[in-house]
């Protein structure tokens, strides 16, 4: 049976631009317009516009502690300052990652939770099942989301919406009027470049898309370029690099886990800390321009020691790069490895993240 895909409000715009469309997380999404490399380069040098309306958005309103929200995630919600956001995880009882997400502190008693598209229904059910009070609402269908990313994005935003945008620090947001309706403008993104995530009503998101693309500094970019951009700076992709079978400790993301508070999965993670992980996430560079691919074997001395979870050709480095999981004894920086799949074989070396270090994200 053919998969019934959901469509964002901007889907007709993508087709009018002759975008290559493909399924992603249950949605019909643009993979590329003029080409992945061209769109990647534009984002690294100018400003690219991404349709991210497929992401999920929830609102919780109430007392964070008595309502139970404080114990849901691996970080403290109540300690997020007003107007700021925080990244972390929703875990299962075994410490596996149900999803990675960002929580935005909108008011003293109100937050917006932004989750991945494919996991949104599961996330909503998991969070709701842990709450003891408050009002919890899924606003995904009513919410549009556009990401403007690239070193010129601030200039574009200021020219369109005023100087208030210029003073927004990294991981901070403001609520402002855009196209006659309240919108959240956040200094966050998934590319390693200076950029903004804009949350606006679904009714207005097409108008905003058209307005931004009227600026010659802005071009649309698809999920293909987005994947290359995020991997160059080492950001994890849910469903590939992290999932319910992966703990933050294995993924090297324990910096986003606050062990000084209560959360579902904490006991399991403490056991893993005590016993040690059976596998560790690594980053690696390939000696050449070939791209490692998801599920390729990672080998050492002829034996398989792990598996690739993400891999691309990096235009910024001019070589193949990837992320994968290996046994701990093969995870040290500088370890030589072989990436193998059938007749494909490429030499690689474990390296530090990020691969690309010169992005404008904190500019």
pLDDT in tens, 326-357: 999 999 999 999 999 999 999 999 999 999 99
Residue 265 covered by a domain? no
Structure confidence at residue 350 (pLDDT): 98
Same domain, 302 and 202: no
Structure-block tokens of residue 178: 């855009």
Domain boundary among 232, 267, 286: 232
Q: What percent of the chain has pLDDT over 90?
A: 98
Query: pTM of the full predicted structure?
Result: 0.97
Q: Does residue 58 sit within a domain?
A: no
Domain for residue 23, yes or no? yes
Tokens for 111, please give them.
Answer: 């937050």
Q: Which domain holds residue 27?
A: 6-53+141-232
CATH number at residue 207: 3.30.1360.120
Closest CA to 211 of 3, 4, 8, 13: 13
Same domain, 225 and 288: no
Query: What is the Cα–Cα distance from 218 to 45, expressed in whole angstroms?
Result: 11
Domain boundary among 232, 265, 300: 232
Which CATH number goes with the domain that contains 282? Answer: 2.40.30.110
- Whether residue 197 has pLDDT greater than 50: yes
Tell me the average pLDDT of the chain. Answer: 97
The number of beta carbons lying within 10 Å of the beta carbon of residue 84 is: 16
Structure confidence at residue 85 (pLDDT): 98
Residues 223 and 295 placed together within one structural domain of the fold: no
Count of alpha carbons within 13 angstroms of residue 168, beta-carbon side: 30
Asked whether the beta carbons of 292 and 286 are under 8 A apart, the reply is yes
Q: Is residue 188 part of a domain?
A: yes
Q: Is residue 347 part of a domain?
A: yes
304 within domain boundaries: yes
**pLDDT-derived band of residue 246, with 50, 70 and 90 as boundaries?**
very high
Coil vs helix vs strand at 218:
strand
Residue 310 and residue 180 share a domain = no
Structure confidence at residue 89 (pLDDT): 98
Residue 300 shares a structural domain with residue 225? no
Q: Which of 168, 198, 232 is the last residue of a domain?
A: 232
Instruction: Provide the domain count of the chain.
Output: 2
For residue 354, say if its preceding peptide bond is cis, omega within 30 degrees of 0: yes
Residue 27 within any structural domain of the chain: yes
pLDDT given for residue 2 in this prediction: 55
Per residue in 150-187, pLDDT tens? 999 999 999 999 999 999 999 999 999 999 999 999 99
Q: What is the DSSP letter of 163?
A: G
Average pLDDT of the segment spanning 42-57: 98
Residue 332: what are its φ and ψ, rounded to 5°? Answer: -70, 145
| Rounded mean pLDDT, 224-236 | 98
Q: Are residues 340 and 194 located together in one domain of the fold?
A: no
Indicate whether 287 pLDDT > 70.
Answer: yes
End-to-end CA distance of the chain: 48
pLDDT confidence band for 1 (50 / 70 / 90): very low
């Amino acid at each position: 049976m053919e998969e019934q895909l959901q469509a964002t409000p901007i889907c007709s715009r993508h087709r009018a631009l002759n975008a290559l469309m493909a399924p992603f997380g249950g949605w019909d999404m643009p993979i590329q317009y003029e080409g992945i490399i061209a769109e990647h380069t534009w984002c690294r040098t100018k400003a690219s516009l991404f349709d991210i309306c497929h992401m999920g958005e929830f609102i919780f309103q109430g007392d964070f502690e008595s309502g139970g929200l404080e114990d849901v995630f691996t970080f403290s919600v109540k300690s997020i300052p007003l107007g700021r956001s925080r990244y972390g995880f929703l875990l299962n009882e075994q410490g596996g990652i149900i999803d990675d997400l960002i929580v935005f502190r909108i008011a003293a008693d109100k937050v917006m939770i932004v989750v991945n598209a494919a996991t949104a229904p599961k996330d909503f059910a998991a969070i709701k099942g842990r709450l003891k009070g408050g009002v919890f609402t899924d606003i995904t269908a009513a919410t549009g989301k556009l990401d403007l990313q690239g070193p010129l994005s601030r200039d574009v935003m200021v020219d369109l919406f005023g100087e208030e945008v210029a003073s927004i620090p990294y991981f901070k947001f403001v609520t402002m009027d855009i196209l006659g309706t309240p919108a959240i403008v956040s200094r966050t993104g998934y590319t390693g470049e200076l950029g903004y995530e804009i949350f606006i009503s679904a009714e207005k998101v097409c108008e905003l898309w058209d307005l931004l693309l009227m600026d010659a500094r802005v071009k649309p970019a698809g999920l293909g370029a987005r994947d290359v951009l995020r991997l160059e700076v080492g950001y994890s992709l849910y469903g590939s690099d992290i999932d319910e079978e992966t703990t933050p400790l294995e993924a090297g993301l324990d910096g986003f886990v606050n062990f000084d508070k209560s959360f579902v999965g904490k006991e399991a993670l403490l056991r893993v800390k005590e016993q040690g992980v059976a596998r560790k996430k690594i980053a690696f560079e390939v000696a050449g321009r070939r791209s490692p691919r998801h599920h390729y074997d990672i080998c050492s001395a002829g034996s398989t020691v792990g598996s690739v979870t993400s891999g691309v050709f990096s235009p910024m480095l001019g070589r193949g790069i990837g992320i994968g999981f290996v046994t701990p004894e093969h995870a040290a920086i500088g370890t030589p490895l072989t990436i193998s799949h059938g007749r494909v074989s490429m030499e690689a070396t474990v390296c530090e993240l990020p691969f690309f270090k010169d992005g404008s994200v904190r500019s």
